[in-house]
Amino acid sequence: MTEAAFCPACVGLPEGQLEKAASNGTNQIVLSLPGIHCVACINGVERSLRALDGVANARVNLSMKRVTIGTSQPVTPEALIDTLELAGFEARVLDTSLLGSEADSYGSSLLTRLAVSGFANMNIMLLSVAVWSGAVGETMHLFHWITAVIAIPTLIYAAQPFFQSGWRALKVGRLNMDVPISLAIILASGISLYETIYGGAHSYFDAAVTLTFFLLIGRYLDHRSRKAAASAAAQLSALEVPRVMRLRDGVRQMVDFGALAIGDLIQVLPGGRIPVDGQVVEGDSQIDRALLTGESRLSAATVGTKVTAGEVNMTGPLTIRAATVGADTTLRKMVTMVDEAEAMRNRYTAVADKAAAIYAPAVHLLALFAFAGWMLYSGDFRLSLNIAVAVLIITCPCAMGLAVPAVATAAAGRLFRAGLLVKDGTALERLAEVDTVVFDKTGTLTMPAAARDMLDARTQSIALAMTRNATHPVSQAIAAALGDVTPASITNQQEHAGKGLSALYKGQRVRLGSGAWLGAGHGTFIQIGEDKPQRIALQSQLREGAAELVRAWQDYGLKIHLVSGDDANETARIAAALNIETWQAATRPADKIAYIKRLAAGGAKVLMVGDGLNDTGALAAAYASISPATAADASRAASDIVLLNDSLMPLIEVPMVARAALARIKENFTISTVYNVIAVPVALAGFATPLIASIAMSASSITVLLNALRMRGRV
């Protein structure tokens, strides 16, 4: 069993708790806590750490499964880890510099600017209605001045995202959608201020602020849909062991990972992650190779066994001679593969960006044509500039700016209600084009299941009592298989990291866990007192909804592939059960990436569905990707969509919703185009008053939003 299967402090306590105050020590150390899952875990971790000399405070983040420790005097990470392990909590050093800031300052800034522009817009519209209703003379001029006082500071602050983006584009000699937006806002404000100063009859402040408000809505919706995306490569890098125990001339010494050299002897204690590729020279243990194979079964490690970076030592201390270090380790190579795969996928050009490439220069040329034409016709610079500004305002891509994020947000909301979290802004566009699906097996299409027929009635009741409150998949599988059994009365239950569970039953010690711990060989066993350990047979069973999902996607025209790190017999059995004709077994991370690249080279748009760390590179390399919420952190980070439910049934409608969303996006662009076809001649003819410009622009934006809301109904 590869992680804590039972949390002794969890029994009988309510779930959920607010985090403690932030660490207030002089220095901070961050540890990963992969096994915590409830309020008792939080209390236990924080209480254990605060009792240690030198620890000023500790704050557990349950959702991120990490603890931040503030220290008032030097304390080594190893001392903190030892303290936690004595308290029954698995801990690892986490390099948070590789994970980046968790604060969403840009999103908060957009929301603030949106609120400011919305409030200003309401007040300006009240004044504009008075002018449109017939206010003249000094009253009209006074309202124009009040509007200017409200609008100019608002635009200077609220429109900064467009100004900054447009300026960055111009500095490198290109155009983006924000260039015409910025130009329209600046010219509209400038000409409006000029008209106000010299007593003109019209001002465009209302149109400029309305434009800014609607575009900020689109920008915020777009940002919110992208906000959840994180770098999978950074998540993997954070798993690297920054400090290791080196043995040199019989002396143990903690050194930085970068100080290791080929040939160094490294000691890895039970529960520790192996930092280098190498060979075991001393020790007898079992290792968790889920990082490379995706399988939860442990592998024996004895003298001569080759091990790789990223694997976890489970049951006994090992001494390893380093064969590769630094950038040559398997884990670091995996980081590089994921980096390259993400870079390839990030080259995807969104529909809105394709439209901007055509639309932005067209708008500028149209406004320039309007100005030049009216100058030749009338010779009136002021009139010509007013008409050119009107063209820029009325053709400004407000509706186009909302076209994608409005649909994406509506579709993401629909999927979220079904139990799916859309993380990437272009995910739905890419999913709509998918024609091939590659499934991982273990943890994705299958879950571990236990057979009960090998155990007698007494053993079954004891096994259920020990596993019914556990969270490890193997423990849950045993409990599920024994669901109709009456649990025995046991006491003094304990969890042994990397080994299993123990308890007392009628004065006898009972142990349930790995065969190596019980001296019974490979597999999962239960032992009562001094009796011979009894094997608990485990096998894979289809995950709920797996058969329905595969059948539905095949009926929808998608080609289904199965690629697994498991052996050929087990992979073939699951493929046959799901009627999947194309499968490949015994695949390593690089093999999965190569498999997807071969499909892509043949013209396929591949959707990867997987959950393990070994799937991270494949998830990033695929055209689109999905992982369950139970997946490794790096796998979730590399995915476009995260499945929040245990059942796979919610995934059935993903391709349909994605294709419907792409259809709505194209409809929104059509609406925007039709609007421009009607509005542009009006503006070019000089009939685009501020009222007409504002109403037309707002109407097109509202129409786009209403069309996007159709995603909430049937697709």
Query: pLDDT tens-digit profile of 464-485?
Result: 998 887 656 677 788 888 878 8
Q: How far apart are CA 155 and CA 186, in angstroms?
A: 9
Q: What are phi and psi of 433, to 5 degrees?
A: -100, -5
**pLDDT tens figures, 305-364:** 888 887 878 777 899 999 888 777 766 766 665 555 444 444 444 566 666 667 667 777
Is pLDDT of 208 > 50? yes
With H, G, I as helix, E, B as strand and everything else as coil, classify residue 500. Answer: strand
Determine the average pLDDT of the residues in 422-429: 77
239 Cβ contact list (under 8 Å, min separation 6): 32, 92, 273, 310, 331, 634
What does the mean pLDDT of the chain come to? 78
Q: Please identify which residue in the block is written with the tokens 């010219």.
A: 187
Q: What are phi and psi of 578, to 5 degrees?
A: -105, 5
**pLDDT tens figures, 234-264:** 555 555 666 788 888 878 888 877 788 889 9
Q: Predicted confidence band at 653 (pLDDT cuts at 50, 70, 90)?
A: very high
Determine the average pLDDT of the residues in 548-570: 92
Q: How much of the chain is helix, strand and coil, in % rounded to 5?
A: 50, 20, 30
Please give the full DSSP string across 556-606, using - where no structure is assigned.
Answer: TT-EEEEE-SS-HHHHHHHHHHTT--EEE-S--HHHHHHHHHHHHHTT--E
Low-confidence winner among 16-25, 545-554, 607-616 (lowest mean pLDDT)? 16-25
Low-confidence winner among 20-29, 105-114, 655-664 (lowest mean pLDDT)? 20-29
With residue 298 as reference, give the H or E element that holds it. strand 298-301
Is pLDDT of 36 > 50? yes
**pLDDT tens figures, 80-90:** 888 887 877 77
The catalytic site residues sit at 440
Determine the average pLDDT of the residues in 149-154: 94
Please give the full DSSP string across 601-659, using - where no structure is assigned.
Answer: HTT--EEEE--SGGGHHHHHHSSEEEEETTS-HHHHHH-SEEE-SSSSGGGGGHHHHHH
Q: What are the tokens at 523?
A: 């597999």
Strand partners, 277: 324
Q: What are the tokens at 505?
A: 């039953």
- Ranked by mean pLDDT, the top range of 17-21, 46-50, 165-169 is 46-50
- Going along the chain from its start, the domains and CATH numbers come out as 8-94 (3.30.70.100), 261-324 (2.70.150.10), 419-446+542-659 (3.40.50.1000), 448-539 (3.40.1110.10)
590 Cβ contact list (under 8 Å, min separation 6): 337, 617
Share of the chain above pLDDT 70, in %: 78
